[in-house]
Structure 1
Amino acid sequence: MRTFRGGLLIGLAVAVLVGALAVIYEFYDTRTLKRTVRRGEVLCGVNKGLPGFSIPDDKGNWTGFDVDFCRAVAAAIFNDPAKAKFVPLDASERFKELQSRKVDILSRNSTWSMARELDYDLYFPAVAYYDGAGFMLPRSRNKETSLDLTGSKVCVQAGTTTLLNVADYFKANNMKYEEVKFDKLDDVVKAYDTGKCDTLSADVSQLYALRLNLSKPGDHMILPDMISKEPLAPVVRQRDDDWMMIVKWTLYAMINAEELGVSS
């Protein structure tokens, strides 16, 4: 009897352990495609509002290149582009949210770098857009090139490649500047628009979008120089090859369609 009870208790313990392991496995399983199909939609992390790339209208309808890419991934999986759900993410939270599986893919202006792949255990399948860091400033400053910006107070967002690019650029050209950084992009733009800094640095495509939301857009100019190379790419988690292949070849299919005029 004791042997039976002991065996029963051991069996129950093993069953509980197996159940717990199954839950843990399901939570940490990297098979994104399986979970996405079961859920019935693609969770796509996008920029909170970047005209041309991802921006919602008053009714919550998203438009832009990054948004269209997410819809293409949904179409590849479900044959229905409407099965893409957009999750707005700030630069400071985007990679952590992808790591924690709050989204299936990042499709927002994120620069592909070795450090990001190693530090965050992520993968950038292919380049979607080539950009570069630049500078925006009031026209009243009367500057023509980035080499004229010595002594500037530069607003920049923390946690971006721009932060390091600006530091490297000023150091390489023996120029002095004051760094004014914020975690949130909205705070960066607000500080610049209210005069807390006299220069704003970000990817050039983003600068043109941000200028539209300033109190007096026409009073500001974007210098023609690019001080870095920024290969922007969608991002997925590592060791998830099936999902990575879908994302990569969806992007290649869109590029080929553009070249062949299929998308026109």
Structure 2
Amino acid sequence: MSQPRFRNWQAIQDEVLRRIHARDWPPGHVIPNEVDLAAEFGCARATVNRALRALAEAGMLERRRKAGTRVALHPVSRATVDIPVIRQEIEDRGQSYTYRMFSRKIARPPVSIQARLCPDSPVDCLHVTALHLASGVAYVFEDRWINLATVPAAANQNFDTISANEWLLATVPYTHGDISFTAEAAAGAEADLLGTARGAPVFVIDRTTWDHDRAITTVRLSYAPGYRIRTSVGTPVSV
């Protein structure tokens, strides 16, 4: 009987996970190379590569140049965090949503932002700052840079009635991102906007998202005191 053909990376990913969970490929096992898997699954090598890359990012595989790809000795279950539409998040709490944009300009980002969005060659980006409010009370301050080389349509958006957060999630697909959580001392105007004392601790999320190897946006979200985040723990099967 001929081997079934796998025409998309998600199907290949599911099959690799099945073999890992069934211990066909036990922890530490070096799996076949991409060329052999592509021949077995009847697909392009690039399709196999994407599936294995996603599983490596999920902690299920370990990939090393010249050493091949092996099943992780200690597969990691990772917390997964959805990117919410802030308006929807507030309305789901039973509160009314309002939004105020403070600034919008096209400029070369500072070096720290260039390192995330355009490390190879600096490009003009769109910088937007805005405040999201829940029932008239400050909820989160958004400080965002958008890579116009990846999302040129953003240059034509005013973001005066719809936030960059909501517009990007509705119109720009992303494949993956990285995120960090910190507690920081509220400073200056940011503390005033969030209605808290200067120096008071606030919860901050820094997030950058990509479409494959092209950075889309990086954002700093500073939340008013009392914010709580919820996540789930599991092994993602797609990114």
Q: What's the TM-score bracket when you normalise by the shorter of the two chains?
A: under 0.3
- TM-score, normalisation: structure 1: 0.23
- TM-score, normalisation: structure 2: 0.25
Q: Which has the higher contact order (CA 8 A, sep 6+)?
A: 1
Between Structure 1 and Structure 2, which shows a larger proportion of strand residues? 2
Q: Which has the larger radius of gyration?
A: 1
